[in-house]
Amino acid sequence: MTRVIRTLVVCMCVVVVASLLRASLPTVQTGSWVSAGNLSQARNGAASVLLPDGRILIIGGDVASQPSNSVEVFNTNGSYSQGAAMSSARSGHSAFLLATGDVLVTGGRTSGGGITNSAEIYDALQNKWTAAPTMVEARAGHTAVQLLDGSLLIVGGENSGGAVSAVEHYSLTDGTFTQAGVLNQARTDAAAAPLNDGRVLIAGGSVLGTDGNSSPVASVEIFDPTTGAATSAAGLSVARAGASATALLDGRVAVIGGNDGLLAIGVRSRVPLRVVIILLCYYRITTQCS
């Protein structure tokens, strides 16, 4: 009986805290946009993560055209505050919320133009960064995807050798990175999302051509973490890099926006696609993109 009462008390406390956090959020009319204020520093190539307590962590990016280690927090009352700085300046990195409530940040471009394989973990409760084991490959412009068991798959990106085909797996058990396989096509700035069956869809991105220039592609592949194999899938209707991929509740994946090559990818600009209306590509395991 005592155990049941304790469980009920804990549940009630969680509900109360969640209600208070929700009540402190600014009220926004359905279907409308409102200003959320300004960051203390303008930044490009930053990463952001929703924390378990409802705050948003805004990490690194280019500040005044240089990678930064600064961190800002968007609070539940709509204000901004400074977070603890990372040990390394980064832009084009990835950031992901782990099941522990910590945030894992990997790779990116660093001061001086180099690309790193270092990783850091942010403890939101202590507002503190600690070093994590390094990735197998240095990379920037990569994508992190959460698998069904909560571990992460690190896909694509680029380093001094060009676009990266190697795929890495981050284990929650020991916090280490190991090589998980190889993509059919090395690519950076690709979109990736998990499928319901545990595989991962990797769409588009940019690749290095025989002329030495990068260009967006429409190719799509599906990576199976259990076998480490990648298989080709139906291509996108429009080649694109820097797009987003979102897994929908019905098992489809929406690939949205990106760069279709109107501007040189090498200058790292991000512009809307030539089609003004955002183009969606829905992918089902059993059907093609359209």
The residues facing 166 across adjacent strands are 182
pTM: 0.80
Cβ contact 92:109 at 8 Å = yes
122, amino acid identity: Y
Starting at the earlier edge strand, list the strands of the sheet with 47-50: 47-50, 56-59, 71-74, 80-83
Task: State CA 205 to chain mean position distance.
Answer: 14
Measure the CA–CA gap between 168 and 151, rounded to whole angstroms: 11
Measure the CA–CA gap between 47 and 60, rounded to whole angstroms: 7
Q: What is the dihedral of CA 89, 205, 233, 96, to 10 degrees?
A: 20
Measure the CA–CA gap between 190 and 73, rounded to whole angstroms: 27
The structure tokens listed for 258 are: 């990106």
Give the H or E element holding residue 10.
helix 2-24
Per-residue confidence (pLDDT) for residue 141, from 0 to 100: 96
**Do the bridges between strand 214-216 and strand 206-208 make them parallel or antiparallel, or are there none, so unpaired?**
antiparallel
Per-residue confidence (pLDDT) for residue 221, from 0 to 100: 97
Spell out the per-residue pLDDT of the chain, length 290, in tens.
444 344 343 334 433 434 444 445 556 677 888 889 999 999 999 999 999 999 999 999 999 999 999 999 999 999 999 999 999 999 999 999 999 999 999 999 999 889 999 999 999 999 999 999 999 999 999 999 999 999 999 999 999 989 999 999 999 999 999 999 999 999 999 999 999 999 999 999 998 776 767 889 999 999 999 999 999 999 999 999 999 999 999 999 999 999 887 643 333 323 333 322 233 444 444 444 44
Per-residue confidence (pLDDT) for residue 28, from 0 to 100: 60
Per-residue confidence (pLDDT) for residue 25, from 0 to 100: 54
Q: What is the dihedral of CA 22, 33, 192, 158, to 10 degrees?
A: -110
Measure the CA–CA gap between 19 and 76, rounded to whole angstroms: 12
